[in-house]
Copies of this chain bind each other. A is one copy, B any other.
Amino acid sequence: MKVVILCGGSGTRLWPISRTLFPKQFVKLFENESLFQKTVKRNDSAAESFTVVINQEQYFMGLDQIEDLALVKPRNFILEPAGRNTAPAIALAAFAANPEEILLVVPSDHLIEDQKSYEAAILRARELAMNDRLVTFGIRPGHAETGYGYIEAAGSKVLSFKEKPDLETAKAYIQAGNYYWNSGMFCFRARVFLDELKTYAPDIFEQASRTFEHSRRDQAIRPQLDDMKAIRAESIDYAVMEKSQKVSVVPADIGWSDLGSFDSLYDTLPKDQDGNTLSGNTIHLGSRNNLVISDDRLISTIDIEDLMIVDTKDAIVIAKKGSTQKVKELVGEVKKRKPEMANVHMTAHRPWGTYTILDEGRGHKVKQITVRPNAKLSLQYHHHRSEHWIVVSGTATVTIDDRTFDLQKNESTFIPMEAKHRLANNQAEDLVLIEAQVGSYLGEDDIIRLQDDYKRN
């Protein structure tokens, strides 16, 4: 069975923890693992191989996180240059598979707490898929949720798909007992899915097929932007599942949460005896039932109840519980004021490591840069700034114009404006350095790349 992990997701519903360029599936929310990593681990025993469909911007983050797990199943990546919803993403994965192969399609950003029941549900789905069924997983609803679509079922037979209901309707569904949350997980043969897609959404089938054929191939499959944009954006539910006669449902009671808001995050986190989420960096005096997520700042609360407090280096959100659906609206407002805050954290992830902005002032910017073992930045130069590098840990291999030399801990160097330079870590431990930039313009777009291991030039 090939496990297809869908890594779309815009990173707005858990802002400011998640950002457009650092969506929720990559945030290490639980036990220092990301939801993406948990998804890989959860499926590792069932998978013969993985296909990760991911935005090309996040390729290295995904690759890093999967490599950190040190698991051995083969994986390949399909790098989307633009998101077109789930039907095209799954179609590309299906084209990349053996036609008779069973695909288990899972989102990368859900939490499933009951592994044993999950594995049982997969086994049942796989049996149905081998009989050429398109299988969807129906989550036994825990409450009358109005934020999900429902599936009406009789055994494994699907009677109907239901749009997000109002509260009364949702309550009636719960009462009836044969309505399930539509979880966004699927299981089918690649061929069967593609046949049904060809029948019910032939334009998507054709254009996805063309896109797949035209893709560049190196370590990953890289669809071209123009091809990708020409595919109609559509969900698998609308394109296929709600129309096909071959659909079955596997009811599943697996401790599922989509973590679609801070409210659902609160429900899943461990809490102290007063109902406050546990965190090392908080002091609560008389406060109860609060979600508190801290970065490195001390968060103290006094006599507050039922709040969500989410702190990051550059932004903090304080919201009433139950109102966290408004975070999306908030992100819209943030985009108007400070677009970069919607997109990135102060700590940015790069294929070679990370950097954190320590200070920005008139004419200068200070960063802490961490370069992973055996990684190097691009050969580059800047038109508007010079840079000072001071090594505080590890050894830097520095190229400036025609010279290449090592800088040890506590040594520094200066890179004049326009000088071609490159920073590499050839050692087995992280390289940490402080970079002070001085110049008239300090934007990330004043980087002229001449060579790059990550094909960004």
Contacts and interface: CB of A to CB of B under 8 A. Distances in A.
Copies in the complex: 2
A277 interface: no
A283 B285 CA distance: 26
Interface in A290-308: 297-304, 307
A315 B301 CA distance: 11
Interface in A431-457: 432, 434, 436, 438
A338 B390 CA distance: 29
A315 B329 contact: no
A335 to B, nearest CB: 11
Interface string A357-373: 01101111010100000
B316 A311 contact: yes
A452 B323 CA distance: 56
Given A388-B412, A438-B390, A314 B298 contact: yes
Contacts of A324: 302
A409 interface: yes
A300 B315 contact: yes
B364 A434 contact: yes
A375 interface: no
Contacts of A30: none
A419 interface: no
A358 B366 CA distance: 9
A386 interface: yes
B414 A438 contact: no
A329 B393 contact: no
B436 A434 contact: yes
A312 to B, nearest CB: 8
Contact of A410 (B300, B327, B409, B438): B438
A392 interface: yes
A456 B436 CA distance: 31
A344 interface: no
Contact of A366 (B299, B304, B311, B434): B434
A341 interface: yes
A309 interface: yes
A333 B283 contact: yes
B300 A334 contact: yes
Contact of A318 (B301, B409, B436): B301
A286 B323 contact: yes
A324 B313 CA distance: 25
Contact of A326 (B285, B311, B316, B356): B285
Contacts of A388: 388, 390, 412, 434
A364 B369 CA distance: 13
A325 B451 CA distance: 60
A318 B299 contact: yes
A202 to B, nearest CB: 44
Interface string A412-431: 10100000000000000000
B438 A392 contact: yes
A320 interface: yes
Contacts of A334: 283, 298, 300
Contacts of A362: 393
B298 A316 contact: yes
A341 B410 CA distance: 29
A330 interface: yes
A136 to B, nearest CB: 34
B358 A358 contact: yes
A403 interface: no
Nearest to A262: B302
Given A298-B341, A366-B366, 10 more contacts: A298-B338, A302-B319, A302-B327, A303-B319, A304-B319, A358-B359, A364-B393, A388-B390, A412-B412, A412-B414
The 3 closest A-B pairs by CB, nearest first: A302-B319, A364-B392, A358-B358
5 contacts: A285-B326, A300-B330, A302-B320, A363-B393, A388-B388
